[in-house]
Amino acid sequence: MSLVLATYGMVMANPRPVIGQTGVVVIAHGSPSPRWNRAVADAVEKVQEQLAEEPGVGGTRLAYLEAVRPGIADAVSELTADGCRRIVAVPMFIAASGHVLYDIPVVLGVLHDPAVAQTLQEEGITLVSPTVPITLTPPLSEGRCLDAYAVAEAKRLSQDPKREAVLLLLHGDDDFRPKLDRLAQRVIHSVQREVGVSSGDWCYIGTGHHYGSGAVPKIKQAAAEGRRVLVVALFAATSARQLHEGWVQKEAGGNDPFQGPDVAFSDRILTEHPALIDDLLAFARGAVHWERGSNHQPDHPAAADPAEKAETLTQAETAALPEITEKARRTAQAEATEKAQVTAEAGRAAP
């Protein structure tokens, strides 16, 4: 996979890092879209500004897993060259996935998986050769920003909560659906509790290519039941409005079936919500000040409803975890192989 040459986030560091301190790397997925990358960079710049005065933090970098520079290895190399003697990596990813549990740990050198490493290198992703300790924090589902964002958007769009339903748009690996389902249920519960909407549902739309088969039928069904539908996307830097308009232009021939007042699409993105910044800061600070070997654990931002934590495994799920994670690894490899084949075919077809 060829990397886009544009760079975002290269200057996000304290100007004079203190030798021996901890460097923070906020990791985003990366996109060919400059708009998407700029939105992420703007959010991380706010994190950098607040961590600049944080005791123990020697610098902050933004890094992308793929598609755009700087990469993760670039950020780690810069921080260690500046004198940082420990790295805290904070993934700006929605929830557990193959990227979070396999790709990022392998790139950072904290997980040994030769098959995943080979696939990543074939995609052109440089792996870190760790020279300092590296600590990886959880994804955003372990904080409160997803709930806060969805509640804020539903409140802004709502007109008559008792006859309204919220629809969440998600992207996630098939092998992690039970955890993602619980995340969706938790967020919907928060919206119902805080906004008062009568019901809620969710659907998986990939990166948008399943919007027509996933979201459109759900919207039509809720509308047919007499409900006004509030559509919110749990994506890092893409709004429900952007996903809908992309589908209208690319697949619906420019014909929008939901132009009336009974369907409202959120047009604000998660990276614009202050709760995202709060969660990234809480994850980073908790890990920076975590004492290895002690009973004290890093302070993570509490989810909106701890009783419905999306990452809590049932006993049956725990027993099945080895099989689930192995399937996820194979799925990630298969997706990478398919992506490489598409890239190769595009290269052969180019003039």
CATH assignment of the domain containing 219: 3.40.50
Do the domain assignments include residue 330?
Answer: no
Whether residue 113 sits in one domain with residue 94: yes
Residue 246 belongs to a domain: yes
Strand 164-170 relative to strand 228-233, pairing: parallel
Is 292 part of any domain? no
**Whole-angstrom distance, CA of residue 228 vs CA of residue 210:** 22
178 C-beta neighbours (distance < 10 Å), count: 15
Residue 301 lies in a domain: no
**Do 100 and 152 fall within a single domain?**
no
- Looking at the fold, whether 126 and 163 belong to one and the same domain comes out as no
Q: Compute the distance between CA of residue 189 and CA of residue 199 in angstroms, rounded to an integer.
A: 9
Which residues constitute the domain of residue 113?
4-136
pLDDT, position 298: 56
In a domain, 293, yes or no: no
Q: Which of 221, 250, 271 is the last residue of a domain?
A: 271
Is 124 found in the same domain as 19? yes
Domain-located, residue 324: no
Chosen domain end from 78, 113, 136: 136
Task: Show which of 136, 156, 175 is a domain's final residue.
Answer: 136
Kindly calculate the radius of gyration of the chain based on its CA atoms and give it in whole angstroms.
Answer: 21
- Answer yes or no: are the C-beta atoms of 137 and 283 closer than 8 Å: yes
Same domain, 47 and 148: no
- Same domain? 81 vs 200: no
Centre a 10 Å sphere on the Cβ of residue 312 and count the other Cβ atoms it contains: 12
153 shares a domain with 81: no
pLDDT at 20: 72
Question: What does each of the 351 residues of the chain score in pLDDT, given as a tens digit?
Answer: 333 334 444 333 344 445 679 999 999 999 999 999 999 999 999 999 999 999 999 999 999 999 999 999 999 999 999 999 999 999 999 999 999 999 999 999 999 999 999 999 999 999 999 999 999 999 999 999 999 999 999 999 999 999 999 999 999 888 899 999 999 999 999 999 999 999 999 999 999 999 999 999 999 999 999 999 999 999 999 999 999 999 999 999 999 999 999 999 999 999 999 999 999 999 999 999 986 555 555 566 765 444 444 333 333 333 333 443 344 444 445 444 444 443 344 343 333
| Same domain for 163 and 46 | no
The reported pLDDT for the residue numbered 294 is 53
Pairing between strand 22-28 and 263-265? unpaired
What CATH number did the domain enclosing 93 receive?
3.40.50.1400
In a domain, 327, yes or no: no
pTM for the whole structure: 0.82
Does 188 lie in the same domain as 114?
no
Instruction: Identify the pLDDT of residue 11.
Output: 35
Residues 181 and 75 in one domain: no
128 and 172 share one domain:
no
Structural domain contains residue 265: yes
Instruction: Note whether 123 and 194 are same-domain residues.
Output: no
Split into its structural domains, the chain has a count of: 2
Which pLDDT belongs to residue 257? 96
